[in-house]
Amino acid sequence: MRFGVGERVLIAARAHEGHHRTPGYLKGKVGTIEHAHGAFTNPETRAYGTDGLPEQPLYLVGFLQREVWPEYRGRADDRIYADLFEHWLATAR
């Protein structure tokens, strides 16, 4: 597992033709590693009939809502979390 809890990560802003589980609203956003789940089968390949191996590292990543939505209505410390694969994450500068 490349990233540790508390690290800041940038979510790749790529379109990715084909099945993937990184939601559009988080692409290009910066979040913080909340939890390292370990490795899981890769839906991006499994969706095309393969076994999804090798397993890929997966993280629960948290984001401040006000940094995700320009017009977010709520508290400054409200957060949104999603489970994202390591190959969608890069160290945030």
Partner 1 sequence: MSEHDHDHPHAPIADGDEPATAARARALAELLIFKGVVRREDVRQMIDWLVSRTAADGARLVARAWVDPEFKQRLLADARAAALELGLDPGPSPVVMAVENTQAVHHMVVCTLCSCYPRALLGPPPDWYKSLPYRSRAVSDPRGALTEFGVELDGDVELRVLDSTADIRYLVIPLRPPGSEEMTEQLLAALVTRDAMIGVAQPVAPTPASVQ
Partner 2 sequence: MERAVHDRGGWSTGSAIDRTEHELADWELLTDALVGALGREGVMNVDELRRGIESMPRDAYERASYYERWLYSLETILTEKGILAPGELDQRVAG
CB 47 within 8 A of CB 33: no
Q: Does 49 bind partner 2 (CB under 8 A)?
A: yes
Q: Does 4 bind partner 1 (CB under 8 A)?
A: no
**Distance (Å, rounded) from C-alpha 84 to C-alpha 21?**
8
**Binding to partner 1 in span 52-91, by CB under 8 A:** 58, 60, 62, 65, 68-69, 72-75, 77-85
**Distance (Å, rounded) from C-alpha 82 to C-alpha 23?**
9
Where does this chain bind partner 1 (CB under 8 A)?
Answer: 15, 17-19, 21-23, 25, 37, 40-41, 43, 58, 60, 62, 65, 68-69, 72-75, 77-85
